[in-house]
A and B are shown apart, each in its own frame.
Chain A
Amino acid sequence: MWYDFLLAISVLILLAAGLSLYRVVRGPSILDRVVGVNVIGTKTIAVIVLTGYLFERVEFFLDIAFVYALINFVGALALASYFERKGVDSRPVRRGAAP
């Protein structure tokens, strides 16, 4: 029962990550994409820990989840700092419009 529950929870979290992928594919500005990637990374941490419980190797997967959280944080900070200096093109992209 616990195994089936964790499997269903993992599938639901992956569906939520797929919903967030919509914002990554067509966000109006580049920062929307960065936020979407950060949200997907945070959901991935929970999925990694749940995968450890499904495979009954929790100790290894916890270390992997910790390193993934660290990389997610550093990547988000680096991208935010880079686009703060470089500038954000925030105009929405109209598909099919004349340039």
Chain B
Amino acid sequence: MRVLDAYPLGHVRTPFYIRGKTGTIERLCGAFPNPEELAQMRDGLPAQPLYRVRFRQQDVWPDYRGSTDDVVEIEIYQHWLEKP
């Protein structure tokens, strides 16, 4: 899955460094109220599925130094993911 390369204002839990990067889903964590909505004092419903996505470090940082098997895993809400 690819993380949206978007830069909306507000309380966003998707780190900048991972936007636009492609990874694989490691697991589904459940569904949680959308933090971007909660920060606006709304109820955040319907709850958004939250995934843990695994990215190869070499795909995240082109000059990464370390094993090709090194990964970073990040929690990403479904509305931030798209099919590449």
Asked if A and B are interacting partners, one says: no
